[in-house]
């Protein structure tokens, strides 16, 4: 009888111990799962979270996109696009350099003086020769110059210049429409293309 009682006691003790061990394992397992999940989601959040621009910057980019008719993001040079938007519609005037009237090189010199703090030559031919390293269309980036011939027969000497923006578009002062945004793919400019220019 004594042996039977001892056996029962040992059995109950082992059963409780085993149950407790199983519960400990379960708790440990659940803890590991929760810790791993929180680590993963924290990593994923850090990895994919947007850098976050101030609301005012986002709003300005959206406003400029609407005003200029092109997709402008927070990562573009918003000072450049805002400057261009303020000059859109300015009439063309030969040798002009103000909002009362401006020619192509006058517009470009204003852009570079205001946005990049650089003084450029006053004629398109001199800009390409003195201020720029020549580049092709595939190398163009925001703020580069684009040169064309617009007088007489085909020429390697530019008579028109604009400021490259993005997606094939450039800002310039045309003789017929004043300051506008055009596309390099337009037949008129495609035929008269000379070179791109990266300002030194």
- DSSP conformational letter for 137: G
Q: Is 160 a catalytic residue?
A: yes
The CB density around residue 195, as the number of other CB atoms within 10 Å, is: 17
Kindly name the residue from 2, 10, 141, 172 that is annotated as catalytic. 172
pLDDT tens-digit readout, 49-98: 445 789 999 999 999 999 999 999 999 999 999 999 999 999 999 999 99
Kindly name the residue from 5, 8, 10, 104 that is annotated as catalytic. 104
pLDDT tens-digit readout, 98-112: 999 999 999 999 999
Q: Is 104 a catalytic residue?
A: yes
Bridge partners for 101 per DSSP:
98
Q: Cα(25)–Cα(86) distance, rounded to whole angstroms? A: 69
pLDDT above 80 for 47: no
163 and 115 Cβ atoms separated by less than 8 Å: no
Length of the chain equals: 200
Which of 197, 89, 177, 138 lies closest to 188 in space, CA to CA?
177
Kindly name the residue from 10, 132, 141, 160 that is annotated as catalytic. 160
pLDDT above 60 for 16: no
- DSSP conformational letter for 39: H
Q: Is 141 a catalytic residue?
A: no
Q: Cα(26)–Cα(29) distance, rounded to whole angstroms? A: 5
């Amino acid at each position: 009888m004594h042996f039977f009682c001892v056996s029962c006691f040992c059995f109950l003790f082992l059963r409780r111990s085993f149950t407790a061990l199983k519960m400990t394992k379960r708790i440990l397992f659940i803890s590991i799962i929760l810790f791993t999940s929180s680590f993963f989601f924290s990593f994923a959040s850090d990895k994919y979270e947007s850098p976050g621009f101030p609301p005012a910057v986002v709003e300005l980019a959206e406003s400029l996109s609407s005003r200029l008719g092109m997709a402008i993001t927070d990562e573009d040079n918003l000072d450049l696009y805002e400057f261009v938007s303020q000059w859109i519609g300015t009439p063309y005037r030969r040798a002009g350099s103000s909002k009362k009237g401006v020619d192509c090189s006058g517009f470009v010199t204003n852009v570079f003086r205001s946005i990049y703090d650089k003084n450029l030559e006053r004629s398109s031919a001199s800009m390409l020769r003195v201020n720029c390293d020549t580049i092709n269309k595939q190398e163009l980036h925001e703020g580069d110059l684009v040169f064309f011939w617009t007088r007489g027969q085909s020429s390697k000497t530019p008579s028109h210049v604009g400021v490259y923006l993005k997606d094939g578009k450039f800002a310039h002062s045309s003789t017929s429409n004043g300051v506008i945004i055009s596309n390099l793919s337009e037949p008129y400019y495609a035929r008269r293309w000379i070179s791109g220019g990266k300002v030194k």
